[in-house]
Amino acid sequence: MFRHEIETILALALAAPLVGAAVAPASRGLLLVANKGDQTIAIIDPEAGREIATIKESGFTVHEVIASPDGRTAYAPVYGNSGVGSAGTDGQTIDVIDIPSRKIVRTIDLGKPSRPHCPKFGPDGRLYVSTEITKSVTVIEPGTNQVVSSLPTDQIESHMIAITSDGKRIYTSNVHVGTVSAIDVASRKVIAVIPVSPHAQRISISRDDRYVFTADQTKPRLAVIDTATNQVTKWISLPALAYGTAPTLDGRWLLVTLPDLNTLGVVDLKTMKMVRQVAVGKYPQEVVARPDGKVAYVSCMNEGKVAAVNLETWKTNRLIAAGKGADGLAWARTD
């Protein structure tokens, strides 16, 4: 898509009234946003299109957040005050937030500086958190909020993680070494270290677990890793460097944030080609699809907003104010 077409879409989207704008019927839930600039977790009512609460973080900066499967508890790893690979403080705690009361009810101390970053729940109900400094993924039992295990990554800067639907394997993106670690959860061993590029970024996995995707930060392309062989078997060409990725619920599309273009790219997973772009806000980072598959939410860091993208019309219906440095996103069910 040419730049003037993107600008036209953006102008039309933002010219529409934000209050009362037509949106797809909402799956009941709340949107959690990690605001790096404000050092807060914002709670957004996505149907109303407004922030309803903010929770001040207990430590330095939280980059990512996740909600428990029942939607009642949020976990926010306290990373530190710098970016990945940069000098700064090394966090070692995870804030536990009671979503209904909007309060931090506990802080999990990991015992040593580790820069905890990306939290994900596995199908076993356990919480898996990337812990960069210790080259590991830390495993937490939510019922007790205790660390119960640690999985090695064998690489530095294991920043983001993706978990297969059966929970048997975890993949980590290892940023400045440009690799992906494949970890066997049962044996707690790395079964492959997959070279990607000199500098990679975030990671996701297809709904059928066949492919892992990570964004090359040296060239405008996505690496496609075949999970049967744990090798890069394809490259998806892009119009600019990518960042966060997420598959849609039906498994047909891969949503890709393109920060320098202020757009959300859409890759057809049948052809492994980008087929469209949707204008969002400034410098999009992370994308999360709503559980009903009708809307995707995109954090727009330089604008402090979250874009709500209709996945049926492929248009941005509204930009929702979040907070300074909006980054990590999570969906918390309320039904």
**pLDDT of the residue at 27:** 66
In a domain, 24, yes or no: no
Is this prediction's pTM over 0.85?
yes
**pLDDT of the residue at 7:** 41
Q: Mean pLDDT across the stretch 306-313?
A: 98
Q: Mean pLDDT across the stretch 115-141?
A: 98
**pLDDT of the residue at 60:** 80
In a domain, 282, yes or no: yes
Q: Which residue shows structure tokens 């069910």?
A: 333
> What token pair was written down for 226?
């075949």
Q: What percent of the chain has pLDDT over 70?
A: 92
In a domain, 190, yes or no: yes
Domain count, the chain: 1
> What token pair was written down for 15?
């010219």
**pLDDT of the residue at 40:** 96
Whether the per-residue pLDDT at 15 is higher than 80: the answer is: no
**pLDDT of the residue at 21:** 33
Whether the per-residue pLDDT at 43 is higher than 50: the answer is: yes
- Write the pLDDT tens digit of every residue in 165-188: 999 999 999 999 999 999 999 999
> What token pair was written down for 6?
């993107």
Radius of gyration over alpha carbons of the chain, in Å?
A: 18
How far apart, in whole angstroms, are the C-alpha atoms of residue 95 and residue 106? 6
Judged on CB neighbours under 10 Å (0-12, 13-18, 19+), 273 is exposed
In a domain, 23, yes or no: no
**pLDDT of the residue at 105:** 97
Residue 58 pLDDT grade (very low, low, confident, very high; cuts 50, 70, 90): confident
Whether the per-residue pLDDT at 16 is higher than 50: the answer is: no
- Write the pLDDT tens digit of every residue in 255-303: 999 999 999 999 999 999 999 999 999 999 999 999 999 999 999 999 9
How far apart, in whole angstroms, are the C-alpha atoms of residue 160 and residue 142? 20
Give the torsion through C-alpha atoms of 198, 203, 206, 212, to 10 deg. Answer: 30
Q: Mean pLDDT across the stretch 147-157?
A: 98
In a domain, 100, yes or no: yes
In a domain, 335, yes or no: no
Whether the per-residue pLDDT at 59 is higher than 80: the answer is: no
Mean model confidence pLDDT for the chain: 92
CATH of the domain at 98: 2.130.10.10
In a domain, 105, yes or no: yes
Q: Mean pLDDT across the stretch 118-134?
A: 98
- Write the pLDDT tens digit of every residue in 184-241: 999 999 999 999 999 999 999 999 999 999 999 999 999 999 999 999 999 999 999 9
Query: Are 314 and 276 contacting, i.e. CB atoms less than 8 angstroms apart?
Result: yes
- 222 strand-pairing partners: 215, 236
CB atoms within 10 A of CB 261: 21
**Pairing relationship of beta strands 295-300 and 253-258 according to DSSP bridges:** unpaired
Q: What residue numbers bound the domain in which 321 lies?
A: 3-18+29-330
> What token pair was written down for 216?
């090359």
Whether the per-residue pLDDT at 62 is higher than 70: the answer is: yes
